[in-house]
Amino acid sequence: MDYSDPEFQAIHHVFPDTEKYLCYFHVEQAWLRWTKQKKNNLSDAERESLLSLLRKTALAPTRDIHQNAMEQLTTSDPYTNNQKVKTYLDNFWLNIPERWCRVHFHNGFHLNVTTNNGVEALNNSLKKFYIKLTSTGTLTSLIDILVTEFVPDLLKTYVQLNYQFCSQYKRYNEYVPEFLHNKPRNVVKHCLTRYANASSYKAGDIDFVTNGGVFLVKSESNVDEFYHVDIGSNLQLPSCSCADFIQSYLPCKHMFAIFRNTNYKWNDLSPLYLSSPYMNLDDRFLSEQQFDQDLDDHNAIIDFSEDLQLTAEDDHNEKYDTDLSKKRKIYVKTLKFWKP
Ligand SMILES: [Zn+2]
């Protein structure tokens, strides 16, 4: 949501138990604007340092890193020497860390959603396109447009995107394993890349912590470091302590290292996780009968080789340090040997 008290109060009134997070895009925008204003007396260097500390505080993935960033922020020169900075931070930000600091957010797929720009874009298209074309400026015509045009058009796009990405519409490229069929595009892309990145792992890099699917997986960049991976259960969602998982909440390289080297496989991930709407296309809209438009590229293949890219993970594997097309070829080659 925006940084708006009326908006917060309204949402809180209707959904008192829901966590309410600020849109990170607008948080950044507010900081950039405030620190630029001449009356706040910040030099360019102070401004940069303050922004960097605020970002660190907001995005810190663990409590320790967050605590450390918070200490740096409140002992920094701009905070201790400039009363305006102190007042601004104390009254607008440090009093509500649960709304903008990631470490306070509950784990879950929603962590991927860091802005409300999508909702704003919808609002814009409603105002600038639909209302402009047909409205008579009355509440009745607004409701009429919403019910007869705006929402049906959105639903049509949603149905089309679901259908165009399912195996009934197009055949998947051979290297896309079956368990990734009928998944949203971002999930397939994400998983294929992590699978390829996990190819150098061996059984000896993985230790069983318990028989219930809890592991320690070696870091590739730091031999002394291990990531704690839990594939979850009927009651509990999976987790990995790496930054990639914390940021995306999608399966990471360390999970694929487990699937490649132990008896635990993709389907052993928590059913809560595997059945999440974030991980699946909407099966109400996957049959052709529900789709009345003529789609002509019916026989094409759903291919990902152009999309595969290196991930900004905990480490960078030197052997992939070649040009992009070569990297893609390596990925595709690795993926062809996929044994789910
Ligand atoms: Zn991980």
Higher per-residue confidence, 95 vs 330: 95
Cα(49) to centroid of ligand 1, in Å? 30
Q: Kindly give the distance from the C-alpha atom of residue 241 to the centroid of ligand 1, in angstroms, as a whole number.
A: 6
How close is the Cα of 249 to the center of ligand 1, in Å?
10
What b-and-e string marks burial along 262-281, b requiring 16 or more CB atoms within 10 Å of the CB? eebebebbbeebeeeebbeb
Dihedrals phi, psi of 217, to nearest 5 degrees:
-115, 130
Question: According to the model, what pLDDT value does residue 95 have?
Answer: 94
Is the predicted pLDDT of residue 202 greater than 70, yes or no?
A: yes
Q: Which residues of 58-96 are buried (b: 16+ CB within 10 A; e: fewer)?
A: bbbbeeeebeebbeebeebebbeebeebeebbeeebbee
From ligand 1's centre to the CA of 229, what distance in Å? 7
* 171-172/301-302 β-pairing: parallel
Instruction: Name, in order, each residue with C-beta under 8 angstroms of 150's C-beta and a sequence gap of 6 or more.
Output: 126, 130
C-alpha 121 to ligand 1 mean position (Å): 33
The structure's pTM equals 0.66
Higher pLDDT, 78 or 108: 78
Q: Is residue 298 pLDDT above 60, yes or no?
A: no
User: How many CB atoms are located within 10 Å of the residue 48 CB?
Assistant: 12
Summarised one tens digit per residue, pLDDT across range 124-175 is 888 888 888 777 888 888 898 899 988 888 888 888 888 877 777 777 777 7
> Among candidates 88, 84, 310, which has minimal Cα distance to 193?
310
Mean pLDDT is lowest, of 72-76, 133-137, 144-148, 219-223, for: 133-137
Q: Is the separation of the CB atoms in 59 and 102 below 8 Å?
A: yes
CA dihedral 217, 218, 219, 225 (to 10 degrees): 110
In sequence order, which residues have a C-beta less than 8 Å from that of residue 231 and are 6 or more positions away? 213, 214, 215, 238, 255, 258, 264, 268, 269, 270
Compute the residue count for the chain. 340
Q: Provide the token pair at 327.
A: 């990297």
Centre of ligand 1 to C-alpha 35, Å, is: 36
pLDDT band at 331 (very low <50, low <70, confident <90, very high): very low
Radius of gyration of the chain measured on its C-alpha atoms: 24
- For residue 240, how far is its CA from the centre of ligand 1 (angstroms)? 5
Rounded Cα distance, 168 and 268, in Å: 26
CA 122 – ligand 1 centroid, Å: 35
**Rounded-to-10 torsion of CA 179, 298, 187, 162:** -100
